[in-house]
Amino acid sequence: MFRALGLVETVGSADAILVVDKLVKTADVHYETKNTKCGGHVTIFVSGDVAAVTEAVEAVKENPPCKVVATAVISNPSEEAERLVLEQKK
């Protein structure tokens, strides 16, 4: 289903919104969901083709709108990875 997944982790909901805004304005990616952890960490998930997801995540990484804890791009994610993201959307 997903050609690629981009993940960006930040601290706080306000910062997460800034990250989502930058991701979707940078390339043709789609916001999928977020996951909030203890301590206020929020992981944002976006999807799209590999080039677009990579471009968006790299833009946030290179010029972050706030403090970014971690980033990752998963090309051709496994069914299990897809399931984990889709479960977050419920």
Residue 12 lies in a domain: no
pLDDT of residue 89: 82
Q: Is residue 11 part of a domain?
A: no
Residues 51-65 pLDDT 10s: 999 999 999 999 999
Residues 3-55: tens digit of each pLDDT: 999 999 999 999 999 999 999 999 999 999 999 987 899 999 999 999 999 99
Q: CA–CA separation, 58 vs 36, rounded Å?
A: 22
Cβ count within 10 A of residue 20: 21
Domain containing 57 equals: 1-5+17-46+53-74+83-90
- Overall pTM > 0.85: yes
pLDDT at position 88 over 90: no
Whether 30 is in a domain gets the answer yes
Q: Which residue has 């977020």 as its token pair?
A: 34
